[in-house]
A and B are shown apart, each in its own frame.
Chain A
Amino acid sequence: MPKIFLTADNHLGRRYDSHPAREKIAEARLFALKDMISAANGEGCRFFAICGDLFDRVEGIPKKLIKDVCAALSDFSGTVLVLPGNHDYYGEGIKLWKDFEDEAAPLGNIVLLKDCKEYRFDSEDGEIAVYPACCRSKHSRENALGWIKSLGGLSGEGIKIGMAHGAIEGVSPDGEEKYFKMTLRELEDIPVDLWLLGHTHIPYPESLSEDTYTSGHKIFNAGTHVQTDLGCSTEGFGFIIKAEKGEAAAKKYRSGNLFFKRLYIESSPEKSLYDVIFDEIKDFEREKSSIEIKLRGSASREDYSSRGEIYDRISEGFMEFSVDDGELYEQLTERFIKDSFAETSLPARLLTALLDEPAEAQMLYELIKESGDAR
Chain B
Amino acid sequence: MIIKSVESRQFAGLRDVKLNFGGGLNVEYGKNEAGKSTVINLLYSLLFREAALDDRRDKDFRAAYFPAERKSGEKGDYIDGRVEFSSGGRDYALYKRWGKGASARCELETEGGIISDPAKIAEILSGEGCLKYGRGIFDGVVFESQKNRERVLKDILDPKKSDLKTDLSETLSRAIDETGGISAEKLKEKINEKIAGLAFRWDEDRDRPEKNRGIDDPWAISAKNGDCVLKAYYELSALVSQRDDVIRYERAEEREAAAKEAFDRFARVYPALQRRGAAAEKAEALKEKLEAYKRALKNWSPAEKKLSKATELKAELDSARAKEICLKIAEYRKNREELLKSASDIGDDEIKQAKRLEKSVAALKGRLSGMNVSAELRLAEGYTASAVSAVDGRKLDLSSETLNEAAVISVDGVMKLLLSPADVDIRSVKAELKRLSLELSELLKKYGAADSDSLSEIYVKSRDAKRGAEAALSAEKALLSGLDYEEIERAAKPQSRRKDEIERELYDLCGGRNPDQFIGSLKSGLEGYAQSYGTAEELKNLCEKAEKELERLESELAGLKDIPSEYEKIPDPEAEYNRLNREFSALSDELRALAYVKDRSSEELGEEIERKSAAFSAKKEELRRWRHISAVLEAELEKSGGKPLAGIEKSFGKNLSILSEQAEVVGFSGESSKLYSRGSEMSAEILSEGTKDTVLLAFRLAVIDSLYPEGGGLCVLDDPFTEMDKERCERACALLKEFSKRHQVIFFTCDEKYEKLLGKIERV
Could you list which residues of chain A lie within 8 angstroms of chain B, going by C-beta atoms?
Answer: 14-18, 56-57, 59-60, 87, 91, 136-139, 228-231, 324, 326, 339-350, 353-354, 357, 359-360, 363-364, 367-369, 371-373, 375
Contact = CB atoms under 8 A, between A and B. Distances in A.
A340 B618 contact: no
B140 interface: no
B711 A368 contact: no
5 contacts: A18-B607, A228-B603, A345-B705, A363-B622, A363-B629
B171 interface: no
B632 interface: yes
Contacts of A353: 632, 635-636
Interface stretch (B250-258, B448-456, B458-466, B514-522): B250-258
Contacts of B607: 18, 229-231
A334 to B, nearest CB: 14
Given A60-B598, A342-B706, 12 more contacts: A57-B601, A87-B601, A139-B250, A341-B179, A344-B648, A346-B179, A353-B635, A353-B636, A360-B625, A367-B191, A368-B187, A372-B710
5 interchain residue pairs of minimum CB distance: A345-B709, A372-B181, A60-B599, A344-B647, A342-B705
Contact of B710 (A136, A340, A354): A340
B651 A343 contact: yes
Most buried by B among A16, A17, A346: A346
Contacts of A230: 607
Nearest to A348: B709
Contacts of B633: 346, 350
B394 interface: no
A230 B741 CA distance: 49
B679 interface: no
B709 A344 contact: yes
Contact of A360 (B598, B601, B629, B646): B629
Interface residues of B, number: 59
Interface string B639-674: 110000011101100100000000000000000000
Contacts of B88: 375
B711 A346 contact: no
Interface of B is mostly: helix
B254 A342 contact: no
A91 B257 contact: yes
A350 to B, nearest CB: 6
B709 A341 contact: yes
Contacts of B601: 14, 56-57, 87
B608 A18 contact: yes
Contact of B742 (A16, A87, A339, A373): A339
B89 interface: yes
A347 B188 CA distance: 12
B742 A371 contact: no
B328 interface: no
B190 A346 contact: no
A99 B257 CA distance: 20
B184 interface: yes
A357 B629 CA distance: 10
Contacts of B528: none
A360 B630 CA distance: 10
B731 to A, nearest CB: 18
Contact of B180 (A59, A138, A372): A372
Interface in B240-281: 250-251, 253-254, 257
A357 B604 contact: no
Nearest to B87: A375
Contacts of B606: 231
B625 A357 contact: yes
B693 interface: no
B19 interface: no
Nearest to A349: B636
Contacts of B709: 341-342, 344-348
B323 to A, nearest CB: 93
A14 B626 contact: no
Most buried by B among A87, A344, A357: A344
A91 B601 CA distance: 19
Given A342-B651, A346-B709, A354 B632 contact: yes
Nearest to A371: B182
Contacts of B611: 18
Contacts of A347: 179, 709-710
B186 interface: yes
A349 to B, nearest CB: 5
A87 B251 CA distance: 13
Interface in B126-181: 129, 176-181
Contact of A138 (B253, B705, B708): B253
A349 B187 CA distance: 13
B376 to A, nearest CB: 144
A354 B635 CA distance: 12
Contact of B625 (A59, A363, A375): A363
A360 B604 contact: no
